[in-house]
Amino acid sequence: MKIAVDAMGGDFAPVEIVRGSVDACREFNTEVILVGKEEEIKQELDKLSCQGLKLDIFPASEAIAMDEHPASAVKKKKDSSLVVANNLVKKGEAAAVISAGNTGAAMTASLFNLGRIEGIERPAIATPMPNKKGMGVLLDAGANADCEPENLVQFAIMGSIYAEKVFGIPNPRIGLLSIGEEETKGNKLTIEAHQLLKSTKVNFIGNIEGRDVLKGNCDVIVCDGFVGNTVLKLAEGVSSVLMEQIKEAIKGNPIALLAGMMLKGSLSKIKAKLDYTEYGGAPLLGLNGVSMISHGSSNAKAIKNAIRATIKAINEDIVGKIKEAVN
Amino acid sequence: MKIAVDAMGGDFAPVEIVRGSVDACREFNTEVILVGKEEEIKQELDKLSCQGLKLDIFPASEAIAMDEHPASAVKKKKDSSLVVANNLVKKGEAAAVISAGNTGAAMTASLFNLGRIEGIERPAIATPMPNKKGMGVLLDAGANADCEPENLVQFAIMGSIYAEKVFGIPNPRIGLLSIGEEETKGNKLTIEAHQLLKSTKVNFIGNIEGRDVLKGNCDVIVCDGFVGNTVLKLAEGVSSVLMEQIKEAIKGNPIALLAGMMLKGSLSKIKAKLDYTEYGGAPLLGLNGVSMISHGSSNAKAIKNAIRATIKAINEDIVGKIKEAVN
């Protein structure tokens, strides 16, 4: 099984991408094709001990920047690391593609090269969402800003398969993110989706609210991509502001400063629990192939963990299982 | 100026509502009409020293529960404290109404009794939103789950007036909550609203994202009621889970426990900063009268602060200023 990694995508590319890939090859005994500017990749590889690892370089002369317009960048830069990596999957030379680059471009390139599974109207980004009790999945995290109720139903089906097969959660509980627990509460989209979800085979537990997102009372959180993206960014923002405030409060007080030093280990543990690098990438579910999107600021650890999730998605035949479920 | 307070609405009614009202009368030298079950209110008042305060009781025999269906409860319970309190404003016997009860019912009762300002299509709940740098306003916090772009424009205008007049923020910066900073990013609603907002007189600074909500880079956050309600509940949920995790981390470690005790003061300060009771109520803007909705779990302090904001809204003639702005 070969995994094509976009070596030029991400805030810390190619350094961290190459490092994470090398770590993954060593740890999971997998094969990685690093796609990108050969010289730069080689330069990084030379600094690491890669003997015996199944690592290839596939050259691509261009890179898509984080702020480029997704569709036009993918169209124009045919020899970009992202497009070439997706092409390798299309041609069957790789089993999956991973990119920490421009999310919109990664979606566009995968949608264009791998295509949708028949019956899936809208592929969705399923992002790992740590909660108090463990691990969950939230989808859509931003692929579809406007959704129909039927889209949310397909997100629920795909998210359920992913949570079960990749995170090992048996019979995942599906929660519909709304603004009230009752089925009559919500906007038009969630009220209709609620009714449709009741008649599916997924383990639908009903509506959840914003305050439940981190509680872990469900395993898969279903919402449209606008709400999902807002939830992710807000959760990130609130944690970082709180942590900042704690640090500031500690600074202003010598006793608290001492206490803060004593607490450092405990605070780090909490930070780690909510740290995206622990969980790696978010798959674009609903495509005819495995495409994993990693956080733009991915470090080596995030890339390694994204490769781990990718291996699992391939081994568990997530694509095949989604096909079966919707057809 | 008399303020009608729904003494039976809220998780801690009538005790905390009566106490907060008494505190407000004393502190702000204002007049409060406590609306509700006379005996229960008197019983509470007897425990407090109310001499010389301008406090009245207006009897109402029924109460609307937190979980009753809003529209049918308001329709059915004509002699409920909530409906009677709203009626006092309608009849000109009170200048404003405050309720910490069933939010949907409070909205319905005020909408029905006070009516909309001509030209305002959808009244919105403007909730105080503390941020890193101080105080902001978010609207709509949940009155309108489905919105048109034109509604968001009116929210921006009303929020701007409220932030300036009640919170004293000169020329408030208005941010549109979306999923990307560029004006082309968002869902249909926000992309269209962005274009409309550019041609209004408000100080529109463009899109903000979930991660900006607590940063304080804008003073008024505009979004539909579904997103706004989710944002509020999520921010509350994330802070409480984080604080919980810190407490747990401290418990498990004797050194950390000591440190935690030393840090207690600093953590309380942070909690206070994000505490809704400090800021009191959220007005339902766009009505022909002042209607303030307070958090269901309001304590005396929250009620007192809601009364403070109400006095300011009346004195600054928020209703008149909104009328001018939209006509």
B308-325 pLDDT tens trace:
999 999 999 999 999 999
CATH for the A2-119+286-316 domain, from 3.40.718.10, 2.60.40.180, 3.40.50.300, 3.40.50.10090: 3.40.718.10
Q: What tens digit of pLDDT does each residue of A189-233 get?
A: 999 999 999 999 999 999 999 999 999 999 999 999 999 999 999
Q: Is the pLDDT of residue B274 over 70?
A: no
Range scoring the smallest mean pLDDT among A59-63, A301-305, B5-9, B254-258: B254-258
Cα separation, A104 vs A106, whole angstroms: 5
What are the residue ranges of CATH 3.40.718.10 in chain B? 2-120+286-319, 121-277
Question: How far apart (Å, rounded) are the C-alpha atoms in residues B60 and B173?
Answer: 42
Q: ipTM of this predicted complex?
A: 0.91
For chain B positions 199-228, those within 8 Å of chain A (CB to CB) are 209-215, 224-227
- Alpha carbon A254 to its chain centroid, in Å, reads 41
Average pLDDT over residues B14-20: 97
Contact B241 A270 (CB under 8 A): no
Per-position pLDDT tens, chain A of length 327: 899 999 999 999 999 999 999 999 999 999 999 999 999 999 999 999 899 999 999 999 999 999 899 999 999 999 999 999 999 999 999 999 999 999 999 999 999 999 999 999 999 999 999 888 888 999 999 999 999 999 999 999 999 999 999 999 999 999 999 999 989 899 999 999 999 999 999 999 999 999 999 999 999 999 999 999 999 999 988 888 888 887 777 776 777 677 777 777 767 777 666 666 677 789 999 999 999 999 888 999 999 999 999 999 999 999 999 999 998
Residue in B188, B224, B230 nearest the CB of A146: B188
**Nearest-Cα residue of chain A relative to residue B246:** A267
Alpha carbon distance A319, A161 (integer Å) = 10
Residue B181 CA to residue B210 CA, distance in Å, equals 11
Distances (CA, A) of A271 to A29, A112, A232, B268: 29, 37, 15, 20
**Burial of A207 (C-beta count, 10 Å sphere; 0-12/13-18/19+):** buried
CATH 3.40.718.10 residue ranges of chain A are: 2-119+286-316, 121-278
The answer to whether A35 and A85 have CB atoms below 8 angstroms apart is yes
Task: Please tell me if residue B244 touches chain A, with a CB cutoff of 8 Å.
Answer: yes
Q: Across the interface, do B266 and A244 touch by the CB < 8 Å criterion?
A: no
Please tell us whether the domain made up of B2-120+286-319 is placed in CATH 3.30.70.270. no
Is pLDDT of B251 > 90? no
Give the A:B interface size as CB pairs under 8 Å: 176
* Residue A62 per-residue DSSP state: B
Please indicate whether, in this complex, the C-beta atoms of B226 and A146 are within 8 angstroms of each other.
no
Q: Can you read off the two tokens belonging to residue A114?
A: 């791998």
Model confidence pLDDT, tens digit, residues B33-85: 999 999 999 999 999 989 999 999 999 999 999 989 999 999 999 999 999 99
Residue of A nearest to B145 (CA): A187
Do residues A165 and A126 make contact, with C-beta atoms less than 8 angstroms apart? no
Contacts of A231 in chain B (CB under 8 A): 210, 230, 234
At residue B40, the 3 state secondary structure works out as helix
| Option in B132, B146, B263 nearest A263 (CB) | B263
In one-letter notation, the amino acid at residue B208 is: I
Structure-block tokens of residue A134: 């463990």
- Structural fold of domain A121-278: Isopropylmalate Dehydrogenase (3.40.718)
**What distance in Å separates the CA atoms of residue B82 and residue B62, rounded to the nearest whole number?**
9
- In the block, tokens 């010389």 appear at B52
What's the CA gap between A131 and A274, in Å, rounded? 8
C-alpha atoms less than 13 angstroms from C-alpha of A327 in its C-beta half-sphere: 11
pTM attached to this predicted model: 0.92
pLDDT 10s digits, B90-128: 999 999 999 999 999 999 999 999 999 999 999 999 999
* Contact (CB, 8 A) for B12 and B299: yes
- For CA atoms B83, B148, A127, A148, the dihedral sign is positive
> Rounded distance, CA B291 to CA B308, Å?
13
Fold classification of B121-277 is: Isopropylmalate Dehydrogenase (3.40.718)
